[in-house]
């Protein structure tokens, strides 16, 4: 899929990118991208080649993503916060034959590329240019089911899953978002989310389609979230749209006691359930909050309430986007009446192609064309969607998804551990924080600190339990199932 060439032909002088004191027009970005695509082709990257990508938020990362998309290669962006072991496993799983990395991530890439060719996108490489092809690609590409990206989602089984998203998925996601949030010719979208998240990646394709501008945060801000710096960036670069997870918005409101940035027209809030008091505070402070429900398997947004809709009906995530259909179903898959809580299922052109090499998980997720999200909610009489809970066990901490099963698996590998239950505890700043109750084998001894060290060897930092408590046994139902609610209460009581 090539959105960049037609955009550069249609709007050569519009700004594609802003970072620091620098800007790049669509024509220039397309010229860099054309040169980079030529280089990638020389490396043997072509249609269908799977390319693991370690990407800092940088202009070369943006050019690289567009170049890979132009070649119809499959982008496999990796979470830079993963351990080398986790990363190597994902490269293996994705069957990537090539690795590419921006300079800031090159050291990590060298640790995990193994025998695969590794291309580091240095300034010397990406600053080449080639003249623009004068011919726009045909629109058929936008409905093509060509795989464009493989994104790893935390699987409920503890094994992360590799979601395959197509060119058509990204195109229709951009279309649905356009005609919900609107497109202003002067729009500037700040890339707060990482490029390995569907929410970050889709901003690039969407902006190229619209001819609007992507603003990259300062390099220093990409490693740790700094709310004051976020505010300054929003003001300085006249940002109009920003995607935030609730934790970010919470920290922004806590750190900056000033009116909203003057050009900001929408804060797209998603990635986790939004606490009501956060929503009220943001609205009272004049922030134009849009609430969205989305997931990787639906190429981000499924339903979105605009700021005006949020004011009229606070808490609802609104109606499905154009061409997206939502139902709420019971355990047999039958649609439920308005107001009844059930599983949210989704159908439409943004629904992913399936999990890579995993027909069983794909069949479980995609039934008769409906994506079974595992998330709970209800539709009101008017057809607007309300979230009740994200996937039962899912912990969302600072916008990152943590599946308890994955953390539990790691803890169980410790020789002293007999049993374990990982839950999320409410947290004003992070939304939730990870906590674990651990049962030891008889005659075995260890400490929470030692268990944390064990976790740190195998898990990205955000997955490591902030609280680990050793308990004599886990509360269970009559049928032997761990009562997660009771574990949560137990851990919360212990804290107080």
Q: Which helix (H) or strand (E) holds 266?
A: strand 266-269
- In a 13 Å sphere around the CA of 75, the CA atoms on its Cβ side amount to 31
262 binds a copy of itself (CB under 8 A): no
130 binds a copy of itself (CB under 8 A): no
348 binds a copy of itself (CB under 8 A): yes
* Residue among 59, 320, 342, 431 that touches a copy of itself (CB under 8 A): 320
* Residue among 236, 308, 364, 450 that touches a copy of itself (CB under 8 A): 308
Cα separation, 229 vs 236, in Å, equals 10
* Residue among 325, 419, 427, 452 that touches a copy of itself (CB under 8 A): 325
10/428 with CB nearer a copy of itself: 10
Q: Write down the least CB distance from residue 466 to a copy of itself, Å.
A: 40
Stretch near a copy of itself under the rule CB under 8 A, chosen from 116-124, 206-214, 236-244, 459-467: 206-214
9 binds a copy of itself (CB under 8 A): yes
Cα separation, 54 vs 174, in Å, equals 24
Cα separation, 442 vs 213, in Å, equals 60
Counting beta carbons within 10 angstroms of the beta carbon of residue 282, is it exposed (0 to 12), middle (13 to 18) or buried (19 or more)?
buried
> Could you tell me where the beta strands, DSSP code E, fall in 334-482?
342-347, 354-355, 366-367, 370-379, 385-389, 395-397, 400-402, 417-427, 431-440, 467-470
138 binds a copy of itself (CB under 8 A): yes
* Residue among 257, 331, 382, 473 that touches a copy of itself (CB under 8 A): 382
Number of residues that bind a copy of itself (CB under 8 A): 41
Place of tokens 């609610």: 485
355 binds a copy of itself (CB under 8 A): no
Stretch near a copy of itself under the rule CB under 8 A, chosen from 104-112, 239-247, 323-331, 480-488: 323-331
Helices (H), 219-356: 219-223, 227-236, 246-255, 276-284, 307-312
* Residue among 140, 220, 449, 478 that touches a copy of itself (CB under 8 A): 140
Stretch near a copy of itself under the rule CB under 8 A, chosen from 35-43, 176-184, 190-198, 230-238: 176-184
CA proximity to 304, closest of 207, 420, 387: 387
Stretch near a copy of itself under the rule CB under 8 A, chosen from 49-57, 182-190, 221-229, 435-443: 182-190
184 binds a copy of itself (CB under 8 A): yes
378 binds a copy of itself (CB under 8 A): no
Instruction: Report the sign of the C-alpha dihedral through residues 235, 270, 82, 402, in that order.
Output: positive
Cα separation, 67 vs 126, in Å, equals 11
- Contacting positions for a copy of itself (CB under 8 A): 6-7, 9-13, 134-136, 138-140, 143, 168, 172, 176, 178-185, 209-211, 306, 308, 319-325, 348-349, 382-383
């Amino acid at each position: 899929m090539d959105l960049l060439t037609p955009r550069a032909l249609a709007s050569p002088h519009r700004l594609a990118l802003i970072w620091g004191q620098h800007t790049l027009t669509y024509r220039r970005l397309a010229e860099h991208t054309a040169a980079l695509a030529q280089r990638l082709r020389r490396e043997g990257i072509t249609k269908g080649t799977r390319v693991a990508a370690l990407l800092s938020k940088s202009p070369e990362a943006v050019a690289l993503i567009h170049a890979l998309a132009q070649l119809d290669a499959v982008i496999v962006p990796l979470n830079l916060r993963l351990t080398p072991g986790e990363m190597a496993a994902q490269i293996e799983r994705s069957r990537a034959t090539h690795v590419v990395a921006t300079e800031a991530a090159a050291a990590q890439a060298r640790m995990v590329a193994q025998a695969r060719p590794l291309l580091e996108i240095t300034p010397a490489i990406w600053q080449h240019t080639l003249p623009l092809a004068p011919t726009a690609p045909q629109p058929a590409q936008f409905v093509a089911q060509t795989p464009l990206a493989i994104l790893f989602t935390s699987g409920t089984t503890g094994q992360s899953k590799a979601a395959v998203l197509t060119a058509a998925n990204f195109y229709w996601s951009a279309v649905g978002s356009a005609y919900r949030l609107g497109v202003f010719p002067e729009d500037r979208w700040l890339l707060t989310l990482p490029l390995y998240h569907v929410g970050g990646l889709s901003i690039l394709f969407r902006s190229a389609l619209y001819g609007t501008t992507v603003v990259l945060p300062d390099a220093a801000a990409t490693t740790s979230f700094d709310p004051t710096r976020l505010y300054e960036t929003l003001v300085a670069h006249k940002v109009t749209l920003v995607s935030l997870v609730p934790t970010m918005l919470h920290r922004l409101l806590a750190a900056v006691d000033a009116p909203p940035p003057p050009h900001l027209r929408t804060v797209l809030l998603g990635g986790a359930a939004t606490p009501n008091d956060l929503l009220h505070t943001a609205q009272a402070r004049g922030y134009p909050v849009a609430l969205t429900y989305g997931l990787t398997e639906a190429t981000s947004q499924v339903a979105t309430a605009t700021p005006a809709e949020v004011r009229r009906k606070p808490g609802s995530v609104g109606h499905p986007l154009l061409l997206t259909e939502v139902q709420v179903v019971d355990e047999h898959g039958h649609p439920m009446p308005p107001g009844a809580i059930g599983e949210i299922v989704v159908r439409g052109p943004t629904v992913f192609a399936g999990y890579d090499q995993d027909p069983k998980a794909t069949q479980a997720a995609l039934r008769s064309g409906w994506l079974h999200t595992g998330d709970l909610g209800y539709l009101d009489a008017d057809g607007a969607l309300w979230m009740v809970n994200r996937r039962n066990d899912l912990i969302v901490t600072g916008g990152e998804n943590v599946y308890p099963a994955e953390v539990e698996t790691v803890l169980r590998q410790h020789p002293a551990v007999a049993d374990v239950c990982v839950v999320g505890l409410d947290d004003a700043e992070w939304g939730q924080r990870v906590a674990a109750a651990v049962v030891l084998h008889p005659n075995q001894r260890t400490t929470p600190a030692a268990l944390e060290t064990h976790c740190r060897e195998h898990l990205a930092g955000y997955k490591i339990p902030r609280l680990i408590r050793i308990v004599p046994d886990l509360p269970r139902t009559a049928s032997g199932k761990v009562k997660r609610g009771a574990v949560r209460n137990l851990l919360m009581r212990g804290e107080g």
